């Protein structure tokens, strides 16, 4: 980070996973800022369009990481609920085809004791995962993590 603080978002995202609370949030915000700069540099078609789509997905997922912070480390912050809602909106706006924001927002609804809304969001999450894709996902680990979260949610709802 010291050598090139304004280049490479992934180092900030990775370090955020090792930090807690507001420090993790600060690192995620820095990563988002660098992703946004990178997005603006990829305006063409072809490979540029593919890279742009990847960046958009990463932006959406970064906001999901922020939601998760407000559900855990920062849950006692005065504005935790409002921030989680704000980041869920941003995650969905950046990539409406990403199932992850719906899963995160379902967790927010569960923390609010709103199981019906959580179940609807998980249905949306699953519907997005079940859509046929032209190519297999590159991030199998992320897919497995999301499928596991969906399964755990369903088990929780059915008392299994």
Boundary (domain end) residue, out of 18, 44, 79: 79
Residue 125 lies in a domain: yes
- Whether residue 72 sits in one domain with residue 129: no
3-state secondary structure string, 65-121? HHHHHHHCCCCCCCCHHHHHHHHHHHHHHHCCCCCHHHHHHHHHHHHCCCHHHHHHH
Neighbour tally for 40: CB within 10 Å: 10
Each residue's pLDDT expressed in tens, for the chain with a length of 160 residues: 666 677 789 999 999 999 999 999 999 999 999 999 999 888 777 788 888 999 999 999 999 999 999 999 999 999 999 999 999 999 999 999 999 999 999 999 999 999 999 989 988 888 888 876 555 455 566 666 666 676 667 666 656 5
Instruction: Flag whether 20 is in a domain.
Output: yes
Q: Judge if 5 and 64 occupy the same domain.
A: yes
Shared domain check, 111 and 64: no
Instruction: From 89, 92, 86, 9, select the one nearest 51 (Cα to Cα).
Output: 9
Q: Which of 126, 102, 124, 105 is nearest to 114 (CA)?
A: 105
Name the domain count of the chain: 2
Per-residue pLDDT at 2: 65
- Are residues 120 and 64 located together in one domain of the fold? no
Domain match, 122 and 155 both: yes
CA–CA gap between residue 87 and residue 131 (Å, rounded): 24
- Return the pLDDT at 81: 95
| CB atoms near residue 65 (< 10 Å) | 21
From 79, 111, 146, give the residue that closes a domain: 79
How far apart (Å, rounded) are the C-alpha atoms in residues 115 and 125?
15
Rounded Cα distance between 35 and 9, Å, is 6
> Model pTM?
0.80
Does the residue 36 lie in any domain? Answer: yes
> By residue range, what is the domain housing residue 2?
1-79
The answer to whether position 87 is within a domain reads no
DSSP-assigned letters across all residues of 116-154: HHHHHHHHHHHHHHHS--SS--S-HHHHHHHHHHHHHHH
Tokens 């995650």 belong to residue: 91
Residue 91 inside a domain? The answer is: no
Cα–Cα separations (whole angstroms), residue 29 to 50, 113, 135, 150: 23, 29, 31, 27
């Amino acid at each position: 980070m010291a050598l090139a603080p304004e280049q490479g978002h992934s180092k900030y995202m990775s370090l955020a996973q090792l930090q807690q609370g507001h420090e993790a949030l600060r690192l995620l915000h820095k990563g988002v800022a660098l992703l946004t700069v990178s997005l603006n540099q990829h305006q063409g078609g072809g490979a540029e369009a593919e890279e742009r789509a990847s960046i958009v997905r990463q932006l959406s997922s970064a906001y999901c990481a922020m939601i998760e912070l407000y559900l855990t480390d920062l849950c006692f912050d005065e504005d935790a609920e409002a921030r989680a809602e704000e980041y869920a909106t941003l995650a969905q706006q950046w990539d409406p085809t990403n199932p992850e924001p719906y899963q995160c927002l379902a967790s927010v609804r569960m923390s609010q004791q709103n199981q019906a809304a959580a179940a609807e969001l998980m249905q949306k999450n699953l519907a997005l995962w079940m859509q046929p894709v032209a190519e297999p996902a590159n991030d199998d680990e992320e897919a497995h993590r999301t499928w596991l979260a969906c399964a755990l949610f369903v088990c929780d709802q059915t008392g299994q």
